């Protein structure tokens, strides 16, 4: 097999030949067809992600492919099955061993590329908005980074939950992408004040007394100044969902504002949430797979990269030039 191997945090991974994995008990070996690219891939390479591998490792958190081998005690999975999986890492490779509990069957009508592109982005948005922030029909949701791989799915998921969506993105092209995927209102943060535009938009809506000040839910994968502006355009009782800090700046939350407006700032880390809430995890993932199969959600794959060009894909995510989702086709080494 081939894999991008990082031997020390902060060092550039190298694409090398590597011994094929052998299925351990309760694990399966997957021939990886596709791997989704995420901002967190760059974090784990730097050693700043929530989980830190010990020893050499390959990045990559979401894969799809074909089961090649099963270990002892594996039930419900057979060699030859089409599957998708959420490993702790290791997806930038032609083969991967993963715990069987992290593997799900892949319907025949869903492509390998689509399944690799949807698990983390849609999972983060669907679970975060529905199960963590408890978005209700008629609420107003403010989505930041709305043309990115995660933010774009938040626009779609919020609309599926019956919300009015205000999306922020940088530049006319990215704003149009957010609009094309269902955003009711779009703010170009490069030329407009998020706080002022949100207030103007909300003022024009038929909101109950006391709720005209702002939005009900904020979906924030950016942090930094974006968070600061959000905090000043939320309605009383709003929920701010902290997804990540793509800006590179972790906000320092002024607790007095949370107190005065009864605002809840809540973190959401998808991987940990699945482990902590296994019943909700099964139900939510089943909902997502059903929506994917029915065409109610469609990952926007803006570009595919062969495995040999995986670092180019990662650079496009890290410098925020990518829109939608990037996918590595792992058998194109």
CATH number at residue 315: 3.90.180.10
Inform me whether the pLDDT recorded for 318 exceeds 90. Answer: no
Task: Verify that 46 and 110 share a domain, yes or no.
Answer: yes
Q: Is 243 helix (H, G, I), strand (E, B) or coil?
A: coil
Mean pLDDT value across residues 155-181: 95
Confidence of residue 245 (pLDDT cuts 50, 70, 90): confident
So what's the pLDDT on residue 257?
87
Q: How does pLDDT run across 92-126, given as a tens digit for each residue? A: 999 999 999 999 999 999 999 999 999 999 999 99
Inform me whether the pLDDT recorded for 288 exceeds 90. Answer: yes
Average pLDDT of the chain? 93
So what's the pLDDT on residue 154?
96
Last residue of a domain, one of 233, 249, 267: 267
Model confidence, pTM: 0.87
Task: Verify that 140 and 263 share a domain, yes or no.
Answer: yes
Last residue of a domain, one of 214, 241, 267: 267
Closest to 193 (Cα-Cα) out of 245, 145, 229: 229
Residue 188 Cα distances to 198, 200, 287, 329, angstroms? 11, 14, 32, 33
Task: Verify that 259 and 276 share a domain, yes or no.
Answer: no
> Nearest 5°: CA angle at 143, between 104 and 163?
80
Confidence of residue 333 (pLDDT cuts 50, 70, 90): low
Q: Of residues 318 and 312, which shows the higher confidence score?
A: 312
Inform me whether the pLDDT recorded for 275 exceeds 90. Answer: no
So what's the pLDDT on residue 308?
97
Mean pLDDT value across residues 36-60: 93
- For 121, residues 6+ apart whose C-beta sits below 8 A from its C-beta are 36, 38, 149, 150, 152, 153, 299, 325
So what's the pLDDT on residue 50?
83
Which backbone phi and psi does 124 adopt, to 5 degrees? -60, -45
Inform me whether the pLDDT recorded for 30 exceeds 80. Answer: yes
Q: Which helix (H) or strand (E) holds 223?
A: none
State CA 60 to chain mean position distance.
13
Residue 157 maps to which CATH number? 3.40.50.720
* DSSP for 180-194, written as a single string: HTT-SEEEETTTS-H
State CA 17 to chain mean position distance.
29
Task: Verify that 205 and 187 share a domain, yes or no.
Answer: yes
Task: Verify that 79 and 180 share a domain, yes or no.
Answer: no
Last residue of a domain, one of 267, 292, 321: 267
DSSP 57: B
Does 100 fall in a domain? yes
Q: Is 67 helix (H, G, I), strand (E, B) or coil?
A: strand
Confidence of residue 259 (pLDDT cuts 50, 70, 90): very high
Task: Verify that 155 and 237 share a domain, yes or no.
Answer: yes
Does 126 fall in a domain? no
Query: CB 209: neighbour CB atoms within 10 A?
Result: 5
So what's the pLDDT on residue 156?
95
Inform me whether the pLDDT recorded for 238 exceeds 90. Answer: yes
Range of the domain at 245: 134-267
So what's the pLDDT on residue 230?
93
Does 292 fall in a domain? yes
E strand intervals along 54-111: 63-70, 82-85, 95-99, 103-105
Domains held by the chain: number: 2
Task: Verify that 279 and 252 share a domain, yes or no.
Answer: no
> Nearest 5°: CA angle at 302, between 296 and 304?
110
Mean pLDDT value across residues 296-305: 92
Task: Verify that 141 and 262 share a domain, yes or no.
Answer: yes
Does 113 fall in a domain? yes
Distance CA 126, CA 123 (A): 5
Query: CB 159: neighbour CB atoms within 10 A?
Result: 16
User: Token digits for 143?
Assistant: 């989505």
Percent of residues, the chain, with pLDDT higher than 70? 99
Distance CA 183, CA 165 (A): 5
């Amino acid at each position: 097999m081939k894999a991008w191997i990082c031997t020390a945090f902060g060092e550039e991974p190298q694409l090398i030949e590597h011994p094929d994995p052998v299925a351990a008990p309760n694990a399966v070996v997957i021939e990886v067809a596709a791997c989704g690219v995420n901002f967190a891939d760059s974090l784990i390479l730097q050693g700043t992600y929530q989980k830190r591998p010990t020893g050499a490792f390959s990045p990559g958190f979401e894969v799809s492919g074909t089961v090649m081998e099963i270990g002892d005690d594996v039930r419900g999975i057979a060699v030859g099955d089409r599957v998708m999986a959420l490993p702790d890492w290791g997806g930038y490779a032609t083969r991967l061993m993963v715990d069987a509990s992290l593997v799900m069957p892949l319907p025949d009508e869903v492509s390998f590329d689509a399944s690799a592109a949807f698990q983390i982005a849609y999972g983060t948005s669907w679970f975060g908005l529905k199960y963590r922030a408890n978005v209700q029909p008629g609420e107003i949701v403010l989505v930041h980074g709305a043309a990115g791989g995660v933010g774009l799915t938040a626009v779609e998921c919020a609309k599926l939950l019956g919300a009015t969506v205000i999306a922020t993105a940088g530049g006319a092209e990215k704003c149009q992408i957010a609009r094309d995927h269902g955003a009711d209102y779009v703010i170009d943060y490069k030329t407009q004040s998020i706080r002022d535009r949100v207030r103007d938009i909300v003022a024009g809506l038929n909101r109950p007394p006391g709720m005209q000040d702002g939005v009900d839910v904020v979906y924030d994968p950016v942090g930094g100044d974006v968070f600061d502006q959000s905090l000043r355009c939320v309605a009383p009782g709003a929920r701010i969902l902290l997804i990540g800090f793509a800006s590179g700046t972790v906000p320092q939350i002024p607790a007095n504002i949370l107190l005065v407006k009864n605002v809840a700032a809540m973190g959401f880390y998808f991987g940990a949430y699945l482990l902590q809430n296994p019943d909700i995890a099964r139900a939510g993932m089943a909902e997502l797979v059903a929506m994917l199969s029915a065409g109610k959600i469609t990952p926007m794959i803006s570009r595919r990269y062969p495995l040999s060009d995986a670092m180019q894909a990662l650079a496009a995510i890290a410098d925020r030039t990518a829109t939608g989702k990037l996918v590595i086709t792992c058998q194109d080494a």
